[in-house]
Structure 1
């Protein structure tokens, strides 16, 4: 490998597992990336990717090289932090991976406030209906609903949040669980629930749903039409026609965690951002849940 630019191209393709996925990250066209990868493999005298119509999969050598390159990238980031100085405004790019509920209803406000105080900072939100793979450096940090059980990761609890059953205010009254009969139940696609904390059917005593999506935002839109489902309290202010129901019988509490590479705790820049992100999320959950209680806390 001749220089850091070659490493940057290699890492981007390795993480995206395709040329088209890496192209916007590097601001290069796929044809140029293909030539760059071919030139790199020729210089090394080794194959780094298995190419197919499905994308670019790393060989065993490619995986080992990716891990080393990611480690070097982390050290370069720390060097950048030292040069930036602890008192300076944050700059550069920081990517956060998050479930789409957080990404849709919390992060836009929180990230906008952080960026307003750090004009040279670029904040990217990677919204995925799955756990973000930090080991592949898909993101600099991730928000999860369960603390990871393995990996060289640093985990800090951000805050608890609450969920309740909700439906349209103009729908027939729901005063008992029996009133759910005949209603369209909205929820996750069962075989696409990526975390056990997202399985809410037990609270409803139901075996399945009638309208399903792997996206919290889509579920909310389904409930807004004519359904009933478990909704994050912090999402309710974005759907004022909905009201919480059966709050004394169905009330769920879950938690958000901030997950980072353990080595990134040495980064003043990332740590300062993580602190701002955590405090911003805590305040935003409190603010939005208070609105939900004031406008949708009564039984219908």
Structure 2
């Protein structure tokens, strides 16, 4: 029988399409991915992947093995979820994936309270803007600013993040909207809702700079680089920033929590979910009634 670890590495290559990308996702080096893939091909005596200069292409056998391997992976994760759900109350590790803006500027402020209330639970928080798979155990619980669509997940809306336009109180064009220059995201964020909103607001006015991280937008706005579209919970209390009025639409994004349906009654998972519901509901900045 093929080594499951080799199959796991093959799955990463098949999903991502490059050896280097698979290596980054599994946090190993390129050589390890290549070695594991070769070992699997040796075990089954078949070529699974055509290694091209810029990508890896599955052979017909590789495509079928990929389909079967995904079923094996789902079965393995189902066993893990069953065991997690049946463990003794309030013990074990729970992985929470959330957008960087919520982790750095909100969640970390509450971790000490969670730890005191749940000393047996190790909460591992991952800053990720991308969608992650609950079925593949990339996380146990996720917070997202777009509704998770994985069919095996249980989803709940927790609140809302409202956005506004902010600039430094020393910004020379603060009271002259026609002269505003904007701080935007780079080309990798072209489809992100807050980028689309900001570009509509900017219209034909210039983009002063592009920054991929929203905390960078905050720092750049404070330094007077231009007008930024920022979450109100992040910017409203900043003494160096001024919220400026805009013409056109208001903008907000919903906060969604999701968990795999097999884990929703696990005591340690339930503790994390209850914690998230509590801290979001108690923060007036996230209220739907604002």
Report the TM-score when normalising by structure 1.
0.72
**1:72 Cα deviation (Å)?**
1.7
Gapped runs of 5+ residues in structure 2?
none
1:242 is the counterpart of 2:241: yes
1:88-167 aligned at under 5 Å gives the runs 88-89=90-91, 91-92=92-93, 94-96=95-97, 98-111=98-111, 113-114=113-114, 117-118=118-119, 121-128=122-129, 130-132=130-132, 138-148=138-148, 151-167=151-167
| Structure 2 residue 276 is the aligned partner of structure 1 residue 277 | yes
Residue 179 of structure 2 corresponds to 182
Q: Tell me, in whole angstroms, the C-alpha distance in 2 between the residues paired with 1:191 and 1:239.
A: 28
Return closer, same or farther for 1:23/1:188 CA change in 2, 3 Å cut-off. closer
1:228: how far off?
A: 0.9
SS in 1 for 2:179: coil
**In the alignment, what sits opposite 1:296?**
none
* Residue 100 of structure 2 corresponds to residue 81 of structure 1: no
Aligned to 2:75: 72
Residues 184-263 of structure 1 mapped to structure 2, 5 A cutoff:
184-189=181-186, 192-196=189-193, 198-201=195-198, 204=201, 206-207=203-204, 209-210=206-207, 211-226=209-224, 227-236=226-235, 239-246=238-245, 251-263=250-262
Q: How many residues align?
A: 282
CA distance in 1, matches of 2:50, 2:77: 26
Per-residue CA deviation, residues 118-140 of structure 1 (Å, 9 max, x unaligned), is 46625141423x44455665444
Residues 118 and 54 of structure 1: CA distance in aligned 2, closer, same or farther (over 3 Å): farther
What SS is found at the alignment partner of 2:68? helix
Q: Say whether the 8 Å CA contact 2:82–2:262 is kept in structure 1.
A: no
The range that moved more, 229-238 or 191-200, is: 191-200
In the TM superposition, residue 46 of structure 1 has moved relative to its aligned partner by 3.7
Tell me how far 1:235 sits from its aligned partner: 1.5
Alpha-carbon spacing, 1:62–1:258, altered in 2? closer, same or farther (3 Å):
farther
User: In structure 1, how many angstroms separate the alpha carbons of the residues matched to 2:205 and 2:46?
Assistant: 50
Q: TM (normalized to structure 2)?
A: 0.74
Q: Which has the higher helix share?
A: 1
- Secondary structure at the aligned position of 1:243 is classed as strand
Which residue pairs with 1:297 in the alignment? none
Counterpart-to-counterpart distance in 2, 1:194 and 1:140: 26
Distance 1:268 1:262 in 2: 13
Alignment partners' CA distance in 2, 1:100 and 1:16: 23
